[in-house]
Amino acid sequence: MHKIALAAALLGFAAAPAFASTMHHEIKVELAAQNNSGETGYALIKPMGKGIEVIVHLKGGPKGVAQPDHIHPGTCANLNPVPKYPLENVVDGKSVTKLPNVSMDDLFKEPMAINVHESAQDLKKYVACGDIKK
């Protein structure tokens, strides 16, 4: 019996780190400037019930201009231009988006990145981007 209890304890201990993954903790995504925009910042992605909340903080952007941002498949270096999840526009450096049907796990099924566009009129010009990593 003693060997079985020891083996179970060892297995239990070895399995514990799987539960300590970032899947249920807030993650921070650094947003780097693109196309000489001078816009940098970060996004916080927090679990919220069965969904997530994405808070984007951006410095160096134009005042009062709504800048569309999305979660796209791919990486900043190789971005799929078709967004996977729309986020609220960044206005005066901030946006807060609740995605009730998107889990933290969904964000790691494939490479994803948060991408900010210059404006609704110029969606093709990217001003900031950050790869979502565990």
Closest C-alpha to 65, from 115, 114, 118, 116: 118
Predicted local distance difference test score (pLDDT) of residue 25: 87
How does residue 35 score in pLDDT terms, banded at 50, 70 and 90? Answer: very high
13 within some domain: no
Residue 124 in any domain: the answer is yes
SS3 labels along 19-88? HCCHHHCCEEEEEEECCCCCCEEEEEEEEECCEEEEEEEEECCCCCCCEEEEEEEEECCEECCCCCEEEE
Query: What does the pLDDT read at residue 79?
Result: 94
Q: What is the CATH number of the domain that holds 74?
A: 2.60.40.200
In a domain, 2, yes or no: no
Which residues neighbour 28 within 8 Å (Cβ) at sequence distance 6 or greater? 42, 43, 44, 45
Six token digits for residue 51: 């969904």
Residue 23 banded pLDDT, cuts 50, 70, 90 = low
Overall domain count for the chain: 1
8 in a structural domain: no
The reply to whether 126 falls in a domain is: yes
Confidence at 24, pLDDT banded by 50, 70, 90: low
Range of the domain at 124: 22-131
Whether 127 and 31 have beta carbons less than 8 Å apart is answered as no
92 occurs within a structural domain: yes
